[in-house]
Amino acid sequence: MTGWQTLFYKEVSRFWKVGFQTVAAPVLTAVLYLLIFGHVLEDHVKVYGTVAYTAFLVPGLVMMSVLQNAFANSSSSLIQSKIMGNLVFLLLTPLSHWNWFFAYVASSVVRGLVVGTGVLIVTTLFIHPSFVAPLWILVFGLLGAALMGALGLIAGLWAEKFDQLATFQNFIIMPMTFLSGVFYSIKSLPPFWLGVSHLNPFFYMVDGFRYGFFGLSDVSPWLSFGVVGTATAASGVMAVYLLRIGYKIRS
């Protein structure tokens, strides 16, 4: 195995060894959201005129699980290594910053997609999802997980303790995720909040992903693809730059 593949294998093994916590728990959380919101709103809300609310909710919950777990994978791994002091052993290796980037982001993509697939499989017990444009599902799933893996790298490099990482997650990641249209169509919002939602890149990830299921969305999937692709590239460039200069890990 090459260097980055070895690090990738180590990162995948790290979360898989505690799979009950890193995979099963997020799946259970998503199912509880589905049961509670679906039960309360199923008879009161129709989205896009024809889509049942529970069916509408499933793609949003799948993508939310992908995003949150991809971010958690790279960010938690780095902060744990920094606090426990074993990051020095990784710094002693001849791995380049590109090796670090590919290994951490790829492992985050794997964790995000594993959890998202688990959520999708379990939710089939309640609904029978349609797959109108499966290629869009795959594209937005991969891009969203890669974006959050890169953001997790940035957060993990910046944070020096768990409190700082929790601040990043609770005040940036979580609000942007919950305000991205996971539980509602943004067309139901007042004009001000509708405009704010269009500034949230997480909205485009969820909306584009949902288009793959129904062939319906709040904005064009090509617009979503452009926004998400640009955001992924920008976060990737930033993460690679911070790794190259050894930001908070070589001083």
pLDDT digits (tens, 9 = 90+) for 78-135: 999 998 888 888 888 889 999 999 999 999 999 999 999 999 999 988 888 789 999 9
How far is the first Cα of the chain from the last one, in angstroms, to the nearest whole number? 29
Residue 201 CA to residue 206 CA, distance in Å, equals 9
Q: How large a percentage of the chain has pLDDT more than 90?
A: 60
Q: Residue 11: inside a domain, yes or no?
A: no
Number of domains in the chain: 1
Q: Angle 97-123/3-16 helices, nearest 10 degrees?
A: 40
pTM (2 d.p.): 0.92
61-81 residue pLDDT tens: 999 999 999 999 999 999 999
Residue 250, domain member (yes or no): no
CB 89 within 8 A of CB 83: no
Decide if pLDDT at 1 tops 70: no
Residue 161: inside a domain: yes
Nearest to 198 by CA among 226, 219, 183, 173: 219
Task: Tell whether 12 is covered by a domain.
Answer: no
Backbone angles phi, psi at 47, to 5 degrees: -110, 140
Q: Per the domain annotation, does 3 fall within a domain?
A: no
Instruction: Read off the pLDDT of residues 206-220 as tens digits, 9 standing for 90 and up.
Output: 999 999 999 988 899
In a domain, 251, yes or no: no
Q: For tokens 């997480």, what's the residue? A: 202
Domain limits for position 76: 17-245
